[in-house]
Amino acid sequence: MSTITSLGIGSGLDLNGLLDQLRDAERGRLQPIAQQKEAQQAKLSAYGKLQGALSSLQSAADTLNGSALFGSLSSSVTGTSVTSAADSNAVPGRYDVSVTTLARAQSIATLGFAEDKTFNEGTLTINAGDSDSLEVTVAEGASLEDIRDSINASGSAITATIVNDGGADPFRLVLSTDETGEDAAIGSMTFSGTNSPDDDNSLTFGGTGTMEETVAAQNATLTVNGIDITSQSNQVEGAIQGVTLSLAEEGESANSTIIVERDNFAVRDAISGFVDAFNSLKETTADLTSFNAETGAAGELLGDSALRTIDSRLRGVLGGMVSGGDFSTLSDIGISLQRDGTLEIDAEKLDDAVVNQRQALTTFFAGDTEAGGFAGALSEMLDQVLDDRGLLGSARSGVESRITSLDERSARMEISIEREIERYRVQFGQLDSMIAQMNQTSTYLTQQFDNLNSMLGRD
């Protein structure tokens, strides 16, 4: 709404300033709404922090709610001949590994050519391993680089490079197989050109060809607990059940020992992660419900009914009992509830459960069904809290609705204030005109009286 800049000219009064003061006074009615909205936004943010802490706790519980964690295995290696990785199918045990030879990829090379060497038109045919033969078309006048590029562009398991050996005719075409092992070796290579018997022979491997094998294809050979094993690749799967061996070095000095055992660290780490997530949640709720008696400052969720209900449900799950196993409560495995509401781990007691009572620990946390164990029951309760229509979701929706309602009230009041200010503006305009007319009348009367006094000879 535009401002009438001439307001007050007729009366000489600062009506624009007075109008601004009235507007400020009227807008003061918006302050309580703004304060309420700020409080609701702070509460909404607090619900977000609470949701994050609860989600972290649920993630930690979900990690514990499955037998895969408690059945997980790890492998350790001494020696330098291999590295290893165990999966869920591995069997605990000790395995002595000795690598006799590493698998190698074959490499063949032509004799040397001059830099300006070109070839006649023809077809290069390469047979390697069990794959179909590769045919590469050589154009008339093709260079060694052109042949190299054509082979590499074929998308086959053969890579071509050019090596400069520093001789009189230094440039040699070198072909290597991408895969290791004897089965991947190049069996033959022929070039059928036109009127170029020398070129045919120089690009031929096998028979009377002049190409030579510079690196022979080789299988990996090793022993596992004295059993001979042959592999096309240096990645050996199946030699040890559930364990992948990565061969790295050959020779007796590099012999290795692999020990596959239950991954106690992963289990203990997951349980410690659950305790840390719960204690982090308690720290968050303590901050959100704090009260400072000296300053009167209070947490955004102090006295909040939703938070009280969530806390009550958590205490119910933590204090509950799990049936069907040797462990029935958290304290049985070394996790105790402290006076401040946090959890504390008895490391010695928990380690004993992890190492010596794995099945009982599995039953306690994971149970026989998805929600049968402690972790499943906790995750199910948190689902009811965190669901969009759950306890926390409903509380957030209520706050969001109140914020929307406050925005609507504020918008309506803004309109009402502007209408009131416009009414004042009109009245001030009328006042300005009336005073201006009165000033004009006063000036006219003063002039008339002065004239009359002059006519009567009065000073």
CA distance 429 to 273: 73
Q: What is the mean pLDDT of residues 404-417?
A: 87
CA nearest to 103, candidates 200, 5, 216: 216
Whether residue 224 is predicted with pLDDT greater than 80 in this model: the reply is: yes
Q: Which residues of 53-87 are buried (b: 16+ CB within 10 A; e: fewer)?
A: bbebbbebbebbbbbebbebbbbebebebbebebe
- 110-132 average pLDDT score: 86
Residue 390: the pLDDT is 85
In this prediction, residue 453 has a pLDDT band, given cuts at 50, 70 and 90, of confident
pLDDT top residue among 455 and 284: 284
| Amino acid (1-letter code) at residue 326 | D
Task: Give pLDDT tens digits for 158-171.
Answer: 999 999 999 999 99
Q: What is the pLDDT of residue 3?
A: 43
**Whether pLDDT at 280 is above 90:** yes
3-state SS assignment for residue 285: helix
**Residue 264: Cβ within 10 Å count:** 14
Assess whether pLDDT exceeds 80 at residue 391: yes
What CA–CA distance (Å, rounded) separates 84 from 128? 30
Mean of the pLDDT values across residues 395-413? 88
- How much is the mean pLDDT over the chain? 86
18, 61, 3: which is closest to 383 by C-alpha? 61
Residue 191 — pLDDT band, cuts 50, 70, 90? confident
At 133 the pLDDT is: 83
The percent of residues above 90 in pLDDT, for the chain, comes to: 41
The terminus-to-terminus CA distance of the chain in angstroms comes to 54
**Of 104-108, 353-357, 431-435, minimum mean pLDDT range:** 431-435
Task: Kindly tell me if the per-residue pLDDT of 379 is higher than 60.
Answer: yes
Window from 15-19, 201-205, 393-397 with minimum mean pLDDT? 15-19
Q: Is the pLDDT of residue 100 over 90?
A: yes
Lowest mean pLDDT among 58-62, 225-229, 346-350, 372-376: 372-376
Domains, the chain? 1-72+263-459 (1.20.1330), 73-103+220-262 (no CATH), 107-215 (2.60.40)
Question: Torsions phi, psi of 143, nearest 5?
Answer: -90, 175
- What's the confidence (pLDDT) of residue 1? 39
pLDDT at residue 409, as a whole number: 87
User: What pLDDT is recorded for position 284?
Assistant: 94
Under the banding of pLDDT at 50, 70 and 90, the label for residue 349 is very high
Per-residue model confidence (pLDDT) at position 2:
41
pLDDT interval class at 351 (50, 70, 90): very high
Measured distance CA(443)–CA(48) in Å, rounded = 71
pLDDT in tens, 317-342: 988 888 877 899 999 999 998 888 89
> What pLDDT, on the 0 to 100 scale, is given for residue 129?
75
Cα(59)–Cα(411) distance, integer angstroms: 42
Q: What pLDDT sits at residue 28?
A: 80
How far is CA 185 from each of CA 133, 236, 242, 247, 451, rounded to the nearest angstrom?
Answer: 12, 19, 29, 20, 131
Q: What is the pLDDT of residues 239-275, one digit of tens each?
A: 998 899 999 998 887 889 999 888 888 899 999 999 9
pLDDT (tens digit, 9 = 90+) per residue, 106-120?
A: 999 999 999 999 888
Write the burial class of residue 5 (CB in 10 Å: 0-12 exposed, 13-18 middle, 19+ buried). Answer: exposed
pLDDT at 4: 43
Structure-token match 């069997």, residue found: 91
Q: What percent of the chain has pLDDT over 70?
A: 93
Contacts of 335 (CB under 8 A, 6+ apart): 271, 275, 343, 344, 345, 346, 350
Of 161, 203, 162, 165, the closest CA to residue 178 belongs to 161
Note the helical H segments in 255-373: 264-288, 305-319, 347-356, 358-366
Q: What is the pLDDT of residue 112?
A: 92
Residue 441's pLDDT band, with cuts at 50, 70 and 90, is confident
Across the beta sheet with 134-138, the strand order is 134-138, 122-128, 186-193
- Mean pLDDT over 201-214 rounds to 86
- Who has greater pLDDT, 8 or 16? 16
pTM of the model: 0.63
